[in-house]
Chains A and B, each alone.
Chain A
Amino acid sequence: MANVELDAAAVVLSRRARERWFPALQLAPVAAFLTIFFVIPLGIFLVYSFWITRRYELVADWTVASYSEALHEPAYRRLLWNTLLVAAIASACTLAIAYPFAYAIHFRLRRYREPLLFLVLLALFSGYLVKIYAWKTILGNRGFINEALLRLGLIDDPLSFLLYSRPAAVVTFVNFLVPLAVLPIYASLQNVADEQVEAARDLGARGLAAFRRITLPLTRDGLLVAFAFTFIIAAGDYVTPQLVGGTSGAMIGKAVVSTFGVTFNWPLGSALAFLTLLAVVLVLVGTRKLVTRTVR
């Protein structure tokens, strides 16, 4: 009798142990992988920003010299400012397209929701470098916009400002960021019940007022997530500014890449990168504060 009870207790215990340890075992490979190849590399990257280089050798001399160089050198300050500006313009334009787009799919084109979202997902996964390169050929001096305008006799010389400019960088960013922004906005639109909008209308709110009081506050978090995604990606990109941005579209990513690949001043490169990250986080926190206070 006592043995039976003991066995039962053992079974319960082992099941409990299994329930506790099994999930830990399932998470272990991912946890180990991320620790070794994500946390530790980022740690090293951060530590390097406090070291210096002497004759192209990294030396563990703890200093904030790289940060002060990054902050005081006018070229880097201009670059950082330009990065935030271009990323902000690109994100704002992206949201201005993505929001009405998601709204139209969700509320106006109900029957075609799935195929349209399918296309958005396809656009999201269809080429990054390829898209940037394509914009270079579309906007270039011998690209087809200029060729078409020349052929139509609308211009005598190719419009060189189409490429290697801030607008070129913004158009390219918007082109590959819109699909990314549509997803969180669309997800948040699912919070908006038709009855709520109808009720607001019945109570006398006109179209825009109903949108401002009901739909916008309910989709606020989706918009903030979309802004965060697009702003971070645009601010951290180095390919777009390099291939289509020119001088007015120059951004910090290119400077970071050249400190790692050309000048081998790794401490300066990582200081620039972490300063940019800090600035990006500040912008995101500030935007969040501002938006949550005004939209409710």
Chain B
Amino acid sequence: MTRRPGNVAAVAFVSLVLVFLFLPVVVVVLFSFNDAASTSLPIKGLSLRWYRAAFDNDLFVDSLENSVVVALSAAAFTGTVGTTASFALSRRRSRLMEAFSVFVIAPLILPGLFVGVALLAFFDRVNLHRSLLTIVIGHALVTLPFVVLIVNARLARFDRSIEDAARDLGASPWQTFRKVTFPLVRPAIVGAMLIALAWSFDEFIITFFTKGSGGTLPIMIWGMLRRGIDPSVNAIASIILATTITVTALGIRLFGVRGMTR
């Protein structure tokens, strides 16, 4: 099986694609530790000077704080309402429920530009002052689909007879939920919330339109790119990458690779 020549080609092709996919990540992280200010090889020496420069920058500290607050709020909100909806969506299969699922996923399928500009027009019309709250609203729209999809997939694989057994043994519906259903589904819920958190931490397109005076880290990077070369942008980008990759990896471990590929 492994000795077939086709497998060598498969390994080579898959490796090549993976190198291509992660090349930007590697480049950014590599240059974030570069002692010199240029973004060219070879690396002159390793240093943490760009990280130090980032943390000395008040805008970075504020943006980091905003990013954390926004991501936690968006994940908490979508985790709560998204999970609640998933329980109803998975319990009964009907046309209406399927239509509702499409409705929930729509904000993620539509280009972010549409969602962002529509929200900008809406906030302007209803005179809602743009702030971190409006950023959270935009992030909640696009992270809700992840929570609903992941928790739905988990509930679809859930063995309902366990609930029946609990009821037969005298548990009330609330006790059944609290002691049987919820503990079994919890890893998927937490995993989904971590995915929402990672997505929010990295989100740029919608944030660009919904932000008030305070921005998030990707907004800060955007501003730096427009002002010209500042090598600490690599350090800030690496901090975003390290956060989203770690949080995503934790999330996927919790709900399993199969929770998203099936």
Contacts and interface: CB of A to CB of B under 8 A. Distances in A.
B245 A125 contact: yes
A175 B20 contact: yes
B68 interface: no
Contacts of B249: 118, 122
Interface string B61-89: 00000000000000000000110110111
B13 A187 contact: no
B141 interface: yes
Nearest to B17: A101
B117 A269 contact: yes
Contacts of B48: none
Interface residues of B, number: 80
B120 A260 contact: yes
Nearest to B24: A134
Interface residues of A, number: 78
Contacts, number: 225
B106 interface: yes
B120 to A, nearest CB: 7
A27 B89 contact: yes
25 contacts: A26-B87, A30-B144, A34-B104, A34-B141, A37-B122, A37-B137, A38-B107, A116-B14, A117-B257, A125-B195, A125-B198, A127-B25, A127-B28, A128-B202, A129-B222, A130-B28, A133-B28, A133-B225, A137-B28, A142-B40, A175-B20, A232-B111, A239-B205, A269-B117, A270-B117
A190 B261 CA distance: 10
Interface in A125-147: 125-131, 133-138, 140, 142-144, 147
A144 B40 CA distance: 5
Interface in A260-284: 260, 266, 269-270, 273, 277
B111 A45 contact: no
Contacts of A236: 110-114
A122 B241 CA distance: 10
B113 A45 contact: no
Contact of A130 (B82, B113, B237): B237
B260 A256 contact: no
A109 interface: yes
Contacts of B89: 27
Given A108-B6, A137-B39, A30 B122 contact: no
Interface string A103-118: 0110011000010111
A245 interface: no
Given A128-B203, A270-B121, 15 more contacts: A23-B91, A26-B87, A41-B119, A104-B13, A108-B7, A116-B14, A128-B204, A130-B241, A134-B23, A136-B225, A137-B28, A183-B260, A232-B110, A236-B111, A273-B114
Nearest to B92: A23
A97 B104 contact: no
A123 interface: yes
A38 B115 contact: yes
A11 interface: no
A266 B125 CA distance: 12
